[in-house]
């Protein structure tokens, strides 16, 4: 009997995937169903805010720390409250997503415009559909820094976030900052979530759509 060879679908043929589980991020994204839960200082209440968001993820050259090799992306995420799209954004962050293949780790190095810097990470493997990025104050590897005013008024006690690649090609995320609020004398979870669709896909080594 002669064996029959079948050709795999084009979508099943992949290259080396040097970005590992970060590969699906590459491109530009937009999402219009964002929801932010936070304390509103002006009104002295905790409430929800809906928002529109743009995100860009671009590959960077390989990073080498001695024997360590990191592949990754630089990225930005900017959000506008609904009804304020033509005005200044209410949230802006820039950073890097990194893949440490040898140690099976994903790393999120992020700086928020409010004067917050976080290095977060967790275990991951190529092909993972959900990636977690976690950090705690004082952790020597995955920790949190914030300016003196925020330390006094809204100290961050914990940071957890995740990104999920959905079957329909969208990208969803959740983010949770556990804060100790001086205004209320209590802790609260400042959360954000959104689902984004890719609006531009480009080759990792070029700027062309």
Structural domain total, the chain: 1
What does pLDDT average to over the chain? 91
- For residue 132 the two structure tokens come to 């977690």
pTM beyond cutoff 0.75: yes
- Which DSSP state fits 129? S
> What is the sign, positive or negative, of the torsion defined by CA atoms of 136, 139, 141, 143?
positive
Closest CA to 58 of 46, 74, 42: 74
pLDDT band of 100, cuts 50, 70, 90: very high
What is the average per-residue pLDDT within 16-22? Answer: 89
pLDDT band of 205, cuts 50, 70, 90: low
User: Does residue 206 form part of some domain?
Assistant: no
User: Does residue 192 form part of some domain?
Assistant: no
User: Does residue 153 form part of some domain?
Assistant: yes
Residue 135 sits at the vertex; the CA angle it makes with 162 and 191, to the nearest 5 degrees, is 50
Measured distance CA(135)–CA(12) in Å, rounded: 35
CB atoms within 10 A of CB 187: 12
User: Does residue 119 form part of some domain?
Assistant: yes
pLDDT band of 41, cuts 50, 70, 90: confident
Return the pLDDT at 209: 39
Are the C-beta atoms of 187 and 180 separated by less than 8 Å? yes
Selected residue with higher pLDDT from 151 and 202: 151
User: Does residue 164 form part of some domain?
Assistant: yes
Are the C-beta atoms of 164 and 175 separated by less than 8 Å? no
Helix (H) or strand (E) holding 148: helix 148-153
Return the pLDDT at 39: 87
Query: Has residue 116 got a pLDDT over 50?
Result: yes
What is the average per-residue pLDDT within 53-61? Answer: 96
Query: Has residue 168 got a pLDDT over 60?
Result: yes
User: Does residue 196 form part of some domain?
Assistant: no
Query: Has residue 65 got a pLDDT over 90?
Result: yes
User: Does residue 145 form part of some domain?
Assistant: yes
Which CATH number covers residue 68? 2.40.128.20
Domain that holds residue 39: 28-187
User: Does residue 13 form part of some domain?
Assistant: no
């Amino acid at each position: 009997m002669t064996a029959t060879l079948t050709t795999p679908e084009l979508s099943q043929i992949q290259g080396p995937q040097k970005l590992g589980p970060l590969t699906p991020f590459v491109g530009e994204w937009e999402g219009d169903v964002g929801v932010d839960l936070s304390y509103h200082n002006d009104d002295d209440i905790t409430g929800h805010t809906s928002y529109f968001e743009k995100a860009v993820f671009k590959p960077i050259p390989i990073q080498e720390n001695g024997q360590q090799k990191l592949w990754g992306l630089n990225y930005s995420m900017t959000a506008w409250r609904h009804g304020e799209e033509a005005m200044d954004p209410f949230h802006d962050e820039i950073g890097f997503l990194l893949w440490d293949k040898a140690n099976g780790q994903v790393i999120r190095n992020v700086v928020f415009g409010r004067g917050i810097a976080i290095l977060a990470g967790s275990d991951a493997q190529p092909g993972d559909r959900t990636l977690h990025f976690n950090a705690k104050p004082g952790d020597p590897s995955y920790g949190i820094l914030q300016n003196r005013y925020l330390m006094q008024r809204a100290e961050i006690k914990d940071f957890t976030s995740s990104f999920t690649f959905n079957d329909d090609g969208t990208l969803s995320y959740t983010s949770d900052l556990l804060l100790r609020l001086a205004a209320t004398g209590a802790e609260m979870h400042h959360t954000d979530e959104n689902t984004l669709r890719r609006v531009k896909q480009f080759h990792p080594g070029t700027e062309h759509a």
